[in-house]
A and B are shown apart, each in its own frame.
Chain A
Amino acid sequence: MLDGSFWIILTGAFAGGACGLLGVFLVLRKMSLLGDALSHAVLPGIAIAFLVSGSRDILPMFLGAAVFGVMTTLLVETFHRRWHVQEDASIGIAFTSLFALGVVLISAYAGQVDLDQECVLYGEIAYTPWDRLLIGEQDWGPRPVWILGTVFVLDLLFVLLFYKELKITSFDPDIAVAVGIPATLMHYMLMSSVSLTTVAAFESVGAILVVAMLIVPGATAYLWSDRLPVILIMSTVFGIVSAIAGYYLAGLWNSSIAGAMVLVVGGIFGVSLIVAPQYGLLGRVIRQGRLGLRVAQDHILLRLVRESETTEDPSVHISDLMEGSVGARFRSRVAMWCLGREGFVTWDAGHLALSDNGLGKATDLLRSHRLWETYFSQLGLPEDHLHHPADALEHFTDEELLQGLHAELPNAEIDPQGKRIPKNK
């Protein structure tokens, strides 16, 4: 006999894995909130099944929930497509009214049955070890483990068997129809799987865990990768890992197990949101910072080379090179330091001057800027509108584009402001 915590963790892991797997497709199809809607809307189904059968047997409850699950998706479609209500509002109206109906049913019969909305909504995962599956006299172990294990395997089979179809219909339903994949059928198959998973999971682990596991792992994996197989595996793993970690966290804090599992998956999302390389916030900030730094470097080089055109002493004091806000001045300072380290400028008592290397790079920039101005002037832009586009483009003009500009403007020697364009190398 294995101890209780093993069964709880296994149940949570199955729920997390199954929801994480399907959730990817919900996130991709922009239907994340359907899980939330479904898990609330099936309440009247459960209440009715309970009132009719008078027991908490899985089968009637499951049937009742399944009926109302399908009804929810149909209601949302009807409100949206036939009644011309916005899609998000359709979801909102459908699930709130069904949930309200469920609460009224439960409260009206509350005296007669042992059922309250809390237990239906929170479905306590901690009771897993005591909820036994009995067939005849034989004890087959905790019931939720069997249910969720089956659901997990079914979902896995569904995704593996229909991988290609799910992929194409999620990314481009029109192409799917064009190559002969029934997009609508896939939609309803996915919806049925989600309903099945939702109903099975929240009966044993609670609605909040289902809602979180359907959305958060999928969205988290979406931050890490562009490849669907990778996203699917990551999402499933996130779901399973957070179930395991959540259990121990709950033990540590002496709190709700399902809540702690949600908190862990939320934590994984939070970390990913910041550190995910391509789509995370940190990566974004770093990329933008680098770009800003490069632009600042280019501006310093340009300033120096312009100075060398007009004056005998081409060095500039650093305070003349910094302007704008505190942040911008700091960026300029860092840019100068970078330029010095790469050997493009030389320092002398607070003055900056171009090195030979730097002069070449700066001349290229200047050439690019003035060629663009000439080019735009020929396109018919007025004279006072030339600087800004040229200023934006000069940083991104590589050698090939520069030669292209020279070819467009073979005789350009003076730019529209009357300044000399440096000679082509």
Chain B
Amino acid sequence: MPVWDSTFQLVLLGALLIGCTSGVLGTFAVLRKRSLLGDALAHAALPGVALAFMLTQSKALPVLLTGASLSGVIGVLLIQVIVTYTRIKADAALGIVLSVFFGGGIVLLTHIQQSAVGNQSGLDKFLFGQAASIVASDLYAMSVMVVVVLVLVGLFFKEFSALIFDPGFLASIGFAPRLVDLLLMSLIVLTVMVGLQAVGVILVAAMLITPAVSARFWTNDLLRMVLISAFIGGLSGAAGAWISALAPRIPTGPVMVLVATGVFVVSAFVAPSRGLIARWRRLRGNHWRENTQHFLRACVELQEQADTDLSVIALTDLAQVMHEPLYRVRRLAKHLAKNGKIESTDEGAKLTTKGYDDAVFVLKSHRLWEYYLVYRSILEEDHVDRSADEVEHILTPQIIERLEAILVEENIDVENVTSIHATDSGFRKAGQDA
């Protein structure tokens, strides 16, 4: 537990504010495909800071912030000019402005250092960020900026979302997309300048990108995404302040970024629907369903081929027909037995009534689809098996009914469909592309 004194409260509050604000604006930056703009802006601010100091000899925060914002805005406009009027692409334009402005800033800083004008030590704060040295007046300045930014986002929320998802629509209802874009850019500039204080030039990009991208895993709704992103940003800020208060040698900014990255990784894995685990489970469910259906179809196909009335099917035969290793077939048999589709005996598998119905349905789907493809002259007879193998798993009883209705007209015995091709039907490996 860190010491709950006024210094710590200031730092905590400052980090929280910065985290929330960059979370909100980051959402728009990321969705606008301008993720790395924050990085460019932060670097482009440096010459502004140096020039502001050279001109005024003051290290007051508002003075430096003004210089930083101005040169940041010039940087953004330059990027726009380069991208709009030359054939240089956005990534290179961003990189050019970022490196040249920063190089210029370093030249100015070293120049200040060398000349007798004064020491530039305070200006370094802008480079690497010192959230731990936030004082009350800084916090007031920050809060004012944060409130202005958030109120403007609230007022123009609809316009911003239109700008992101459908700029053409925005233009058609009488807004100039360029102006709305400019407003959004200016808000991002302000946010970056505030964020610079806490995390420094290089990491401010992360405060914009990481919470927003993490939030994207959780929702498809813009408002929710903004709120979640603000929450993650605030959480990272507070956690960063907390941890670095416990271990004073560790700077706040990098810890904020690492916490945000942690949230990102966790979100990427556990988020419902878009998360990796959810995706993986969906995929595995599909594979599993395909494999069990293949098992059942192979059973009835083998029964059909056998002259005698074959009730128990050897697993080795199944493995051979399905081109699957025996251990997988065993696993499938176990699963199907549990669901009451087959009865496992020592010699092999025996279909139950329930299993038989399912198996016949899959086989019927497969064959009806083959007939359909041939009679609609979509494919030749020797090319239909593969397509049917893919489609059999997703055909519903309703579709089968329609198929039957169509095929009856073609004088096909839909009650007892036989294989249309002489060869055995294949079994596609689950998850494999056709």
Sample (13) of A-B pairs whose CB atoms are under 8 Å apart: A40-B202, A83-B268, A88-B34, A91-B35, A96-B210, A100-B255, A100-B257, A122-B106, A254-B110, A256-B107, A266-B100, A273-B86, A281-B86
Interface residues of chain A, those whose CB is within 8 Å of chain B, are 27, 30-33, 35-36, 40, 82-86, 88-89, 91-93, 96-97, 99-101, 103-104, 107-108, 110-111, 117, 122, 208-209, 211-212, 214-216, 218-219, 222-223, 250, 253-256, 258-263, 265-266, 269, 273, 279-281, 284
**Distance between Cα atoms of A212 and B110 in the complex (Å):** 18
Q: Are B91 and A96 in contact (CB under 8 A)?
A: no
Q: Are A32 and B91 in contact (CB under 8 A)?
A: yes
Known: A31-B91, A100-B206. 8 other contacts (CB 8 A): A103-B253, A111-B249, A215-B96, A216-B99, A254-B110, A256-B109, A262-B99, A265-B100
Residues of B contacting A214 in the complex (Cβ-Cβ under 8 angstroms): 95
Q: Distance in Å from the Cβ of A48 to the closest Cβ of chain B? A: 15
Q: Are A259 and B258 in contact (CB under 8 A)?
A: no
Within B205-251, the residues touching A (CB, 8 Å) are: 205-206, 208-210, 212-213, 216, 247, 249-251
**Distance between Cα atoms of A273 and B274 in the complex (Å):** 43
CB-nearest residue of chain B to A267:
B100
Residues of B contacting A209 in the complex (Cβ-Cβ under 8 angstroms): 103
Residues of A contacting B91 in the complex (Cβ-Cβ under 8 angstroms): 30-33, 88
Within B4-26, the residues touching A (CB, 8 Å) are: none
Interface membership of B407, Cβ < 8 A: no
Select one of A30, A101, A262, A279 contacting B100, CB under 8 A.
Answer: A262
Secondary structure at chain B's binding surface: helix, strand, loop or mixed? Answer: helix
Q: Are A96 and B257 in contact (CB under 8 A)?
A: yes
Q: Are B203 and A93 in contact (CB under 8 A)?
A: no
Within B182-218, the residues touching A (CB, 8 Å) are: 202-203, 205-206, 208-210, 212-213, 216
Q: Are A35 and B35 in contact (CB under 8 A)?
A: no
Select one of B99, B115, B216 contacting A208, CB under 8 A.
Answer: B99
Q: Are B205 and A96 in contact (CB under 8 A)?
A: yes
Number of A-B contacts (CB under 8 A): 195
Interface membership of B58, Cβ < 8 A: no
Q: Are B86 and A255 in contact (CB under 8 A)?
A: no
Residues of A contacting B255 in the complex (Cβ-Cβ under 8 angstroms): 100, 104
Q: Are A259 and B96 in contact (CB under 8 A)?
A: no
CB-nearest residue of chain B to A212:
B99
Q: Are B250 and A255 in contact (CB under 8 A)?
A: no
Interface membership of B114, Cβ < 8 A: yes
Q: Distance in Å from the Cβ of B132 to the closest Cβ of chain A? A: 11
CB-nearest residue of chain B to A88:
B35
Q: Are A215 and B202 in contact (CB under 8 A)?
A: no
Residues of A contacting B258 in the complex (Cβ-Cβ under 8 angstroms): 97, 100-101, 104
Secondary structure at chain A's binding surface: helix, strand, loop or mixed? Answer: helix
Q: Are A254 and B89 in contact (CB under 8 A)?
A: no
Q: Are A100 and B100 in contact (CB under 8 A)?
A: no
Q: Are B104 and A259 in contact (CB under 8 A)?
A: yes
Select one of A83, A103, A255 contacting B110, CB under 8 A.
Answer: A255
Q: Distance in Å from the Cβ of B138 to the closest Cβ of chain A? A: 22
Residues of A contacting B38 in the complex (Cβ-Cβ under 8 angstroms): 92
Residues of B contacting A32 in the complex (Cβ-Cβ under 8 angstroms): 89, 91-92, 94-95
Known: A36-B39, A281-B86. A215 touches B95 (CB 8 A): yes
Interface membership of B402, Cβ < 8 A: no
Q: Are B203 and A92 in contact (CB under 8 A)?
A: no
Select one of A99, A110, A263 contacting B202, CB under 8 A.
Answer: A99
Q: Distance in Å from the Cβ of B76 to the closest Cβ of chain A? A: 16
Interface membership of B102, Cβ < 8 A: yes
**Distance between Cα atoms of A175 and B325 in the complex (Å):** 38
Residues of A contacting B95 in the complex (Cβ-Cβ under 8 angstroms): 32-33, 35-36, 211, 214-216, 219
Q: Distance in Å from the Cβ of A177 to the closest Cβ of chain B? A: 17
Contact with A along B368-380 (1 / 0, CB 8 A): 0000000000000
Known: A84-B274, A103-B254. A223 touches B88 (CB 8 A): yes
**Distance between Cα atoms of A85 and B102 in the complex (Å):** 28
Known: A84-B274, A99-B202, A262-B103. A219 touches B96 (CB 8 A): yes
CB-nearest residue of chain A to B39:
A92
Q: Are B206 and A96 in contact (CB under 8 A)?
A: yes
Q: Are B203 and A33 in contact (CB under 8 A)?
A: no
Residues of A contacting B203 in the complex (Cβ-Cβ under 8 angstroms): 96, 99-100, 103
**Distance between Cα atoms of A394 and B216 in the complex (Å):** 52
**Distance between Cα atoms of A110 and B104 in the complex (Å):** 29
Q: Are B94 and A212 in contact (CB under 8 A)?
A: no
CB-nearest residue of chain B to A104:
B254
Known: A92-B209, A97-B258, A208-B102. A107 touches B92 (CB 8 A): no
Known: A212-B100, A263-B104. A27 touches B92 (CB 8 A): yes
Residues of B contacting A82 in the complex (Cβ-Cβ under 8 angstroms): 276
**Distance between Cα atoms of A280 and B89 in the complex (Å):** 14
Q: Are A263 and B274 in contact (CB under 8 A)?
A: no
Q: Are A223 and B86 in contact (CB under 8 A)?
A: yes
Residues of A contacting B250 in the complex (Cβ-Cβ under 8 angstroms): 104, 107-108
Select one of A212, A218, A256, A273 contacting B82, CB under 8 A.
Answer: A273
Known: A31-B91, A99-B203, A254-B115. A211 touches B251 (CB 8 A): no
* 9 closest Cβ pairs, A-B complex: A262-B103, A266-B100, A96-B206, A259-B106, A212-B99, A100-B254, A215-B95, A97-B261, A100-B257
CB-nearest residue of chain B to A43:
B202
Interface membership of B30, Cβ < 8 A: yes
**Distance between Cα atoms of A292 and B154 in the complex (Å):** 44
Q: Are B106 and A279 in contact (CB under 8 A)?
A: no
**Distance between Cα atoms of A320 and B30 in the complex (Å):** 53
CB-nearest residue of chain A to B240:
A100
Interface membership of B98, Cβ < 8 A: yes
Q: Pick from A117, A255, A260 the residue with the most CB of B within 10 Å.
A: A255
Q: Are A266 and B33 in contact (CB under 8 A)?
A: no
